[in-house]
Amino acid sequence: MTPTRPGPRGRALLLVLPALVPVVAVVGAALVSAALLSLGLAPLVGEPGLSLDAYRAAAGDLGTGIGLSLGIAAASTGIAVVVGLCLALAATAAVRRSRLLGALAALTIPIPHLVGAAAIGLLLADAGFLARLLGVDPASWPPLVGGQLWVAVVAEYAWKESAFVALVVAGVLATRAASYGETAALLGAGRWARLRYVTLPLAAPALLSAAAVSFVYTLGSYEVAALLGRAYPEPLPVLAYRLFTSIDLAARPQAAAVALTTTALALLVVLAALRALRRLAAER
């Protein structure tokens, strides 16, 4: 008997297996146990039974949480995309290239979000550095930290993520923008025409991917919103964490329900981004 050899597809699968197994094991196991918990199939006490009670109990908070989380992620990603693109353009421009801006953006990346959040808090709080620098009385300083508009939270995410967007986009532009830009200029395209017809389309796929990553990260991250946000309403991760650490063990399934909802939202965003990327690629 001759041993059957795996075909090219089988071999490819074998090669990715070492990476696939931990991902499936860790993420899969966590998701499955959260799903079981949220659906009442793995209760801490009592008989298991399929029910949507946890979702129903958390529905009110879940609704405001979804809106709030999406709002924060959209605002900070929007700002980060605009600022990051400008940084990348400045760092890779053929003329008047700003190495300083590029270096500053790169320096931002290794700072942990927790440290960034603390720094933003010290900067923007009503008795913070900025208020003192401008000589504004704490009473008349707008509530940036813990205020209704979540300004400090959005500012922190936007600041960190803009550096990430800049890094990714600059990486793409650095290798191709100069030669395509020269070609376009010699075909009569001025600065704005080059930006609109050449640079932006070249940067678009990288920009879209970076925006999707940044959005999903912001949607699921806990510490910045917990530090700089207000006590109520809560964004999804803060809500999930509070429910999970509650002394009321019955709240655990609700925490799992919130976590699963967050995961589903993130998944939807990623799928939408992939679809948009594919459409972008098909247009070319």
The reply to whether 198 sits near other proteins by the rule CB under 8 A is: yes
From candidates 10, 197, 274, 275, binder to other proteins by CB under 8 A: 197
In this chain, which stretch among 80-88, 158-166, 192-200, 226-234 interacts with other proteins, using CB under 8 A? 192-200
In this chain, which stretch among 72-80, 179-187, 210-218, 264-272 interacts with other proteins, using CB under 8 A? 179-187
Write down the number of H helices and E strands in the chain. 12, 0
Closest CA to 122 of 110, 111, 130, 133: 130
The reply to whether 185 sits near other proteins by the rule CB under 8 A is: yes
Closest approach of other proteins to the CB of residue 96, in Å? 14
- Residue 12 vs 280, nearer CB to other proteins: 280
CB atoms within 10 A of CB 179: 10
The reply to whether 171 sits near other proteins by the rule CB under 8 A is: no
- How far is it between the farthest Cα atoms of the chain? 87
User: How buried is 31 (Cβ within 10 angstroms: 0-12 exposed, 13-18 middle, 19+ buried)?
Assistant: middle
In whole angstroms, what is the distance from residue 212 CA to residue 227 CA? Answer: 24
The reply to whether 233 sits near other proteins by the rule CB under 8 A is: no
The reply to whether 33 sits near other proteins by the rule CB under 8 A is: no
The label of the residue with tokens 């809500």 reads 239
In whole angstroms, what is the distance from residue 152 CA to residue 141 CA? Answer: 13
The reply to whether 184 sits near other proteins by the rule CB under 8 A is: yes
From candidates 193, 268, 271, 272, binder to other proteins by CB under 8 A: 193
From candidates 33, 175, 179, 245, binder to other proteins by CB under 8 A: 179
The reply to whether 188 sits near other proteins by the rule CB under 8 A is: yes
SS3 at position 126: coil
The label of the residue with tokens 């965003």 reads 269
The reply to whether 187 sits near other proteins by the rule CB under 8 A is: yes
In whole angstroms, what is the distance from residue 154 CA to residue 62 CA? Answer: 20
In this chain, which stretch among 5-13, 15-23, 82-90, 197-205 interacts with other proteins, using CB under 8 A? 197-205
From candidates 189, 208, 251, 276, binder to other proteins by CB under 8 A: 189
Q: Which residues contact 99 (CB under 8 A, 6 or more apart)?
A: 91
The reply to whether 96 sits near other proteins by the rule CB under 8 A is: no
Residues that bind other proteins (CB under 8 A): 179-180, 182-190, 193, 197-198, 201-202, 204, 283-284
